[in-house]
Amino acid sequence: VGFGKNATLYARVRGKVVVTCEKVDLKWHKAWIQRCYAGREGQTIYKKHFNVIPEKQHDRFKLVDAI
């Protein structure tokens, strides 16, 4: 998944987009985690993930050169 100039998400390969919501294990010793998630210690935090499952590629290849 790519991130566009205007904050849009786009698939970098052809395929099926799947959006999941997963439980995260934050590293609370990091300063920015403490700043962004202050007051949520001990709570279960879920984050949204965007995944692209690529289309199956063909398996027909032509040998060009042998070493």
pLDDT at 22: 95
pLDDT in tens, 19-60: 999 999 999 999 999 999 999 988 999 999 988 888 888 888
* C-alpha–C-alpha distance, residues 1 and 61, integer Å: 27
* C-alpha–C-alpha distance, residues 9 and 50, integer Å: 9
pLDDT at 3: 84
Rounded to 10 degrees, what is the CA torsion of 33, 37, 43, 46?
Answer: -80
More confident residue, 19 or 1: 19
pLDDT at 20: 94
DSSP assignment of 20-49:
EEEE----TTSHHHHHHTTT-TTS--EEEE
